[in-house]
Structure 1
Amino acid sequence: MTPVYSVIVVTWNNLQYTARCVDALLRTLPSDAEVIFVDNGSEDGTPAYLTDVARRLGDAAKTVFLDENLGLAGGANRGLEVATGEYLVLLDNDVVVTPRWLEGLRECMEEAPRAVPGARRVGLVGPVTNSARGPQKVQNPPPFQPEALNELAAEHREAFRRRWAPSFALSTFCLMMRREVYAEIGGLDERFFPVGHEGADLALRAQERGFECMIASDVYVHHEGSATLSKAFPGAQGGLGGAELFFEKWRARRAGKTRLVAAYRVRDAEATLRESLDATARFADAIVVLDDGSTDGTGAIARSHPAVARYERTELPPGVDDRRDRDRALQLAAELSPDWILAVDADEVFEMDRARAERLMQLADPHIKALGFHWYTFWEPTRTYFRADGALGAMSGYRMYRNEPGLRVARGEGGLPGGGIPEMPDGCGRFTDVRVRRLGYDTEASRQARLALHARPDRYAPPRAGAPPELADLASNTVTLRRYAPASGVSLCIIARNEAERLERFLAFLEPFVDEICIVDNGSDDATVEIARRFTDRVRVHRTDRLDLAEVRNVGLGMATRPWILSLDPDEELAHWDLPRVVRLMDDLDVHAYSFEIANHQKDGPPVMTIAVRLFRNDARIRYGRAVHETVQPSLDRHPELVVRAAGVEIQHYGFLKDDGVMEEKLSRYLEANQRMREEDPADPMPWYNEGLHLLNDGRDDEAIAFLERAMVLGQHFLSPRSSLAQIYQHRALALWQSMVAELPPGHPVRPTAEESAAALGRITPARMLVGQARRRRLQGPSHGE
């Protein structure tokens, strides 16, 4: 009998994990399954153990013993070659499966297309777990208790029953693949040896053929997490290694000329359609138009426009079906075999040229399949002012997507406005900074016409359900208008030195959002410059005789050509959902710079918060100062006419998570440069403050206090020294109260006060930030001489 399931377990040493995995697997294995053990040359008794298990299973088991370690992909592929089941399952040997896990994955694979809006035929399915990178990880899972795992999985299955979601990628720790998918795209790519990005690569290839990748959130398994990998290949970064190879493969795979088709769905739009078509023709290869029964000159404009490749007219029945009509327009576009499709309304003007469109279609990150834009609704006929309040003042959304088989618009039945493009998995969308001018609201008559449309009793089903938020804005008598900036765009300016490990991912994330990338390398001896040049031709190597980061940063500012500059480092991140907010910050013509909250993540304790200006106009008056701990603040102080406001956006900084030795070397270089700055300009409070922090980190509190007090005297409005001093004295006060609690006997009249004071201070006193040598000393404990 041909098995329904083939479960492939790849092993390399770590017998204790393999035995645990196999025990759970055999307890949950249905009778219509086979198990294939592939060993990558283990030397710890694993082959003998697997041979014994296979003997006991008889025909339900196969073994493949390799003479050398071929990595995850090589081992999995040898197993796939001998598998005969309809559902092929890859299972890491550090996974503990739970009852009905196979049935749960299969149920998702077969039922999700009918249960999940817009889902295509499912080709790959993965469960959720305690340890994984990306959307398959359960937040805050309980500690692993073998005896309680099955009960936890059962509770999880009940709580998340049939909660299935498309995913941009899946991990291979536990992955079910339909045999049809394997027949079409093959197995894992072995170039990513020993492990890293095989699952992401497999998912991308499946999606290209029209298969959905789905997470079965109601199937929970335990995953130890890189138990074998971390021992065999310590440099594999827990499966994140090989990013360079991954990006390189997909960059080459999608190289060459790309084709963009714009899809319009229009009705009675003669007032704005020609201007919109002219703008779209500047960057699109072709345009298709679906006319929903126009009664004015819309059809004639569309048919006569040279960029319109197809025009189709439809006479609507009573009511409006937004989903059906948008989907038809997109199918017209898909018939022209484009790489990307853009959904456009007749009153929209996308501020994009062909060069920008080409860059957006050739992004480094192959997971990006939907691109977001930002709408500006003009409110008066001269189109000088746009609506800046309410839903109309914050409209951002996805309109451009990679064309793949089987995609369809899934929302908008009964006239409910949909998103304009097919459903896309979380994680595959990115915002650009491209503005879209919205022309159809610039007169009172046009706004009243739209209100009348929304008021029709057949507009929504049921009536009034799901009316768009802009409806309230249209009816409002109170509006806020803002002058439209004639020029827009942002340059990403960064400096780098030996950042090859993180630069590719950093640039791939921000590449869609920024108009240009300017990188100044300060003397890297790794692949930093090579990686940088994959993303931009604005790369300059600028070595300095002595450490002077302000000089290096200012070189980068001089390379920028866009109106705004975003200054970030490769060890920093902006949240994707904050990018529309950043775009709106650049709308204010009266502001020159924005300060951001920086969350400095620590190896021990919560992040330490600081503030720094990171978004500012490309203005010669704004330049960096100070050799280290460089900032544009001195130039802003010299020009009080420049307006600075808080961005209300947080930047995550992970630089302090680097190896303690690396941090110690960096701090030593910074201290030397900082002392030089203090000697050259003793009236500048910043070097005094920074050296005080260095002394504080080194445990030399008394010396730190003297430097911080000096900084406070020199900078009367400089708040950071006061905060640091307050924390020093706060820690000292806490230690004194705690010592009193330890010394005072029960019943002593002062003890309640001491306990209350210690508890109150303990709640509000932040942990000491220790990095480099100071952190290593604390972890090692006192030496014999202390």
Structure 2
Amino acid sequence: MTSFSLCMIVKNEEKVLERCLKSLAPYMDEIIIADTGSSDTTKKIAQKYADKVYDFEWTGNFSDARNFVASKATKEYIYTADADEYLDADNQKKLAQLKQILLPEIEMVQMLYCTKAEFNTVYNFEKEYRPKLYRRLRAFQWIDPIHETLRIDPIVYDSQIEIIHEPQSDHSKRDFDALLQAGLKERLSKKLHHMYAMELYHSGQDEDFVKAIPVFEQTLQQDSREMDTIKEAICVLVRAYRIKGDIPKFFGYALKDTATVSSAEVCCELGRYYESTGELQEALIWYQNASTETESILDIATSQTIPQEALKRLGAY
């Protein structure tokens, strides 16, 4: 039977941490938790379950914290968890079975991350595979009968374990701060760029969009950027400049979007602008385009509920 180290980073998670640890503790051979500055009872709860609880000074970088806590693990596999997730009884059984039968050549196990609609503030989906369990020490192997090379791609197993994600607090401000600082320091990866744009559209406040302007303007200055990344940046900038009241830049970026295949996000922003100026027929045209002629790239609501509600509000039907 394989051995598991549960490694977590936490901050002010007293509402959800015990639920998480109760569901996972019976299947873990050690529990290691790094607290990044809690001011509630999070550390007390952690100490009831964990073998080791560390204070980790927050650097603004989640990877720093993850790497620190993983460096303290001693078992064969590391299980990573966030405090606002847990396993129900059925999936606890699946994890127990996995622990019994996990083949040594498997280096990473993916599990289905499940966020119910009422808790879903960022994504357009309710289930997605995420790597949750990985071998602590990896053995590299030579492959190919000639011109041999080291295998660098991990052997991944997609399990049917479903992790229930039910956040009880909004972490968006913390996430926006981290994404903004990362984007101001250096060019964001394609993944982080997409996450930043999506999170802004799902839970960003007006000030978050305005603060993000330098990051996404930098995207358009990079000639090598892929079209989908450029479109994401335009969506953010169109909304940011509408919020800011810079109408020339608002229309300038909106025109860049319509020069290719328009996005529902930009159509909604044009609809909002014309509705705010009292040009209701023009607003209707853009809301209709968002609803029936274009697709969303960041927020599915921009091609569904947002324009549909606007059309009703303006008396289209």
| TM-score clears 0.5 | yes
CA distance in 2, matches of 1:605, 1:540: 31
Instruction: Report the alpha carbon displacement of residue 732 of structure 1 after superposing the two structures with TM.
Output: 3.8
1:489 aligns with 2:3: yes
Q: Distance in 2 between matches of 1:673 and 1:703?
A: 11
Query: Which structure 2 residues correspond to residues 344-743 of structure 1 after superposition, within 5 A?
Result: 487-544=1-58, 546-585=59-98, 587-600=102-115, 601-602=119-120, 611-619=129-137, 640-655=152-167, 657-659=168-170, 663-664=172-173, 666-675=174-183, 678-679=185-186, 682=187, 684-693=189-198, 696=201, 697=204, 698-699=208-209, 713=224, 729-732=262-265, 735=268, 742=284
Residue 494 of structure 1: how far off its partner (Å): 0.8
Taking a change above 3 Å as real, the CA distance of residues 702 and 534 of structure 1, as seen in their structure-2 partners, is closer
1:658 partner letter: S
**In structure 2, C-alpha distance between the alignment counterparts of 1:555 and 1:693, rounded to whole Å:** 28
Aligned counterparts of 2:113 and 2:31: Cα–Cα separation in 1 = 22
Hey, what does 2:241 align to over in structure 1?
none
Check conservation: 1:491, 1:565, Cα contact below 8 A. yes
CA distance in 2, matches of 1:602, 1:553: 24
When residues 727 and 533 of structure 1 are mapped into structure 2, their CA distance, relative to the original with a 3 A threshold, is: same
Q: Deviations over 1:177-208 (max 9, x none)?
A: xxxxxxxxxxxxxxxxxxxxxxxxxxxxxxxx
Cα 1:759–1:547 shift into 2, 3 Å: closer
Question: Is the CA contact (8 Å cut-off) linking 1:597 and 1:649 kept in structure 2?
Answer: yes
Q: Is the 8 A contact 1:563 1:618 kept in 2?
A: yes
Task: Give the drift of 1:596.
Answer: 3.4
Q: Residues 539 and 735 from structure 1, CA distance in 2 versus in 1: closer, same or farther, beyond 3 angstroms?
A: closer
The alignment-based identity, stated in percent, is: 20
Q: Is the 1:499–1:528 Cα contact (8 Å) retained in structure 2?
A: yes
How many angstroms apart in 1 are the aligned matches of 2:223 and 2:130?
19
Give the Cα separation in 1 of the matches to 2:96 and 2:222. 36
Whole-angstrom distance in 2 between the partners of 1:706 and 1:670: 18
Distance between the aligned counterparts of 1:512 and 1:583, measured in 2? Answer: 9
- 2:300 corresponds in structure 1 to 766
Q: Which has the higher contact order (CA 8 A, sep 6+)?
A: 2
Secondary structure of the corresponding residue to residue 591 of structure 1 = coil
Segments of structure 2 that go 5 or more residues without pairing to the other structure are 141-149, 237-261, 272-280, 303-317
Tell me, in whole angstroms, the C-alpha distance in 2 between the residues paired with 1:559 and 1:691: 30
Listed one character per residue, the Cα deviations across residues 456-480 of structure 1 (whole Å, up to 9, x for unaligned) are xxxxxxxxxxxxxxxxxxxxxxxxx
What amino acid is the match of 1:594? V
- What is the distance in 1 between the residues matched to 2:293 and 2:283? 10
Q: Shift of the alpha carbon at 1:616?
A: 0.9
Residue in 1 aligned with 2:278? none
Counterpart-to-counterpart distance in 2, 1:488 and 1:722:
45
CA distance 1:576–1:552, shift in 2 (3 Å)? same
Query: How far does residue 761 in structure 1 lie from its aligned partner after superposition?
Result: 5.7
Q: Residues 539-583 of structure 1: CA distance to partner in whole angstroms, max 9, x if unpaired? A: 222224x32322222222122222222100111123331234344
Measure the CA separation in 2 of the matches of 1:644 and 1:538. 29
Amino acid at match of 1:612: R
Partner of 2:144: none
Residue segments in structure 1 that go unaligned for 5+ positions in a row: 1-486, 623-637, 745-753, 769-786
Match of 1:71 in 2: none
Aligned residues of 2:27 and 2:95 also touching (Cα < 8 A): no
Q: Deviations over 1:689-738 (max 9, x none)?
A: 44444654445698786567789956x8xx99599689985424764999
Q: Distance in 2 between matches of 1:514 and 1:702?
A: 44
Assess if the C-alpha contact under 8 Å between 2:33 and 2:69 holds in 1. yes
Provide the rounded CA distance (Å) in 2 between the counterparts of 1:711 and 1:647: 39
Q: Deviation at 1:592? A: 0.7
Q: Provide, for residues 627-673 of structure 1, a one-character-per-residue CA deviation record: whole Å limited to 9, x for no partner.
A: xxxxxxxxxxx972422343344433334x525xx643x13531354
1:685 and 1:710 in contact (8 A); partners too: no
Give per-residue Cα distances to partners, 1:724-774, cap 9 Å, x unaligned.
689985424764999789459xxxxxxxxx799729969xx7226xxxxxx
1:131-146 equivalence runs, <5 A:
none
SS of 2:104's equivalent? coil
Q: Is the 8 A contact 1:689 1:707 kept in 2?
A: no
Query: Does the CA-based 8 Å contact 2:107-2:156 persist in structure 1?
Result: yes
In the alignment, residue 74 of structure 2 is paired with which amino acid? Answer: T
- Of 575-584 and 506-515, more deviation after overlay is shown by 575-584
- Residue 255 of structure 2 is matched in structure 1 by none
Contact 1:516 1:536 in 2 (8 A): yes
Distance, in Å, in 1 between the alignment partners of 2:190 and 2:89 is 36
Q: Give the direction of change, closer, same or farther, for the CA distance of 1:558–1:502 in structure 2 (3 Å limit).
A: same
How much has 1:528 moved relative to structure 2? Answer: 1.7
Three-state SS of the structure 1 residue aligned to 2:15 is helix
Contact 2:110/2:132 (<8 A) preserved: yes
Judge conservation of contact 2:217–2:233 (CA < 8 Å) in 1: no
For residues 531 and 597 of structure 1, what CA distance do their matches in structure 2 show? 26
Contact 1:500-1:527 within 8 A present in 2 as well = yes
The residue type equivalent to 1:647 in the other structure is: S
Q: Give the Cα separation in 1 of the matches to 2:295 and 2:188.
A: 35
1:198 aligned partner? none
**For the structure 1 residues 525 and 761, does the alpha-carbon distance in structure 2 shift closer, same or farther, using more than 3 Å as the test?**
closer
Other structure's SS at 1:512 match: helix
Deviation string, structure 1 residues 206-259 (Cα, Å, up to 9, x no partner): xxxxxxxxxxxxxxxxxxxxxxxxxxxxxxxxxxxxxxxxxxxxxxxxxxxxxx
- 2:79 counterpart letter in structure 1: L
Q: Deviations over 1:54-110 (max 9, x none)?
A: xxxxxxxxxxxxxxxxxxxxxxxxxxxxxxxxxxxxxxxxxxxxxxxxxxxxxxxxx
Which of structures 1 and 2 has the bigger CA Rg?
A: 1
